[in-house]
Structure 1
Amino acid sequence: MDRTRRIQALQVLQRIKEHELDGHAAKMGLIRSHQAQVQSEIDKLDERLAKEAHISTPEAAPFLAGFLKAIQTRRAFLEKEMARLDKDAAQIEGKLFDTYTEARSNEAVLDKTLVEKRREDDLAESASLEEVARNRYLRQMRGET
């Protein structure tokens, strides 16, 4: 593959990797947002439990056990949800790291290829200028000015 096509292919690959990074980051943002919501609900349950977990009136006594059971069930569900979100976040972080590593590797190859192309172009230009100078010198030597 000639150098120009290779550069174009690397640039396309780089854009794809950056798009993948953006996608993973967006997914991570959604997970973090959901985690914050779940944590907020857990905190509210804990507050409610602290405020209402004692018997304030004799009429409330029969309902306390049901209330505590409901809070405990909801908290267990939320903790499972948080664990699932943590697992999903860890997977996305792994993908994010892999994609980032691939993007940086691709960027390094692209930079190296661009430097090589610039050097090749500079050498071609120098050779062309030398040819023009040599031809002019030869014409002057022959007296063709």
Structure 2
Amino acid sequence: MQLCEEYGTKLLASPDSDGHPDSSLVTNLTYTQALILLGILEEERDEFIVEYDVESMTKLELQQAVKDRDLAIQEKKDLQKDLNLKSSELAQLTTLTQGLEQQVKDYKSKYSAEQEKVTSKQRELETDKEETTSARKIAIRIQNIKIEQRDL
């Protein structure tokens, strides 16, 4: 009953039927082969029959081929899921990296500005030292002059 529902008129057509171009693929199968192939989506069934030469396969070979196909499909789905996960992680890391690069750029800019302030303060300090030294010399001269004036 399930075979009739799934394969419909394809089972009734003869292999040489012109009414259904793909009917020969199904009509050449044994009952067991047709039953096993119900585990494959209808859209993929004809391609599978041709690709694996199902007509010449034993029941066990066909079951193994369907099982291998299902495993390959599941593995592909798992790999796609992993790929999507890795792509998502990569996008997050790329965003994080860009943020960190911007922070580095900002810190470099702040560092340069602070470095300029330090250089300016060092120049002021040098100028102040020179002025302090000159002021001391002047103070010493004034003291010496006062001492000389007292001595006179």
Distance in 1 between residues matched to 2:108 and 2:118, nearest whole Å: 15
Q: What is the CA–CA distance in structure 1 between the aligned matches of 2:84 and 2:66, rounded to whole Å?
A: 29
Shift of 1:122: 1.6
Aligned to 1:89: 93
Per the TM alignment, residue 97 of structure 1 is displaced from its structure 2 partner at its CA by 1.4
After superposition, residues 91-110 of structure 1 pair within 5 angstroms as 91-110=95-114
Give the C-alpha shift of residue 141 in structure 1.
3.0
More helix by share: 1
Runs of 4+ in 1 over 4 A off after TM superposition: none
1:113 to 114, 117, 125: 117
Distance in 1 between residues matched to 2:108 and 2:114, nearest whole Å: 10
CA RMSD of aligned residues (A): 2.3
Tell me whether 1:79 sits opposite 2:110 in the alignment: no
Structure-1 separation of matches of 2:90 and 2:140: 74
> How big is the shift at 1:117?
1.3
Q: Aligned runs of 1:1-145 on 2, under 5 Å?
A: 58=61, 60-142=64-146, 143=148
**Aligned counterparts of 2:110 and 2:123: Cα–Cα separation in 1:** 20
TM-score normalised by the chain length of structure 2: 0.52
Larger RCO, structures 1/2 (Cα 8 Å, 6+ apart):
1
Looking at CA atoms only, which structure, 1 or 2, has the larger radius of gyration? 2
Using the size of structure 1 for normalisation, the TM-score is: 0.55
Identity of aligned residues (%): 7
Cα distance, 1:135 vs. partner?
Answer: 1.1
- 5+ unaligned residues in a row in structure 1: which ranges? 1-56
Structure 2: runs of 5 or more not aligned: 1-59
- Give the letter aligned to residue 122 of structure 2: R
Q: Deviation at 1:138?
A: 2.1
**Residues 59-81 of structure 1: per-residue CA shift (max 9 Å, x gap):** 63231122111111101101111
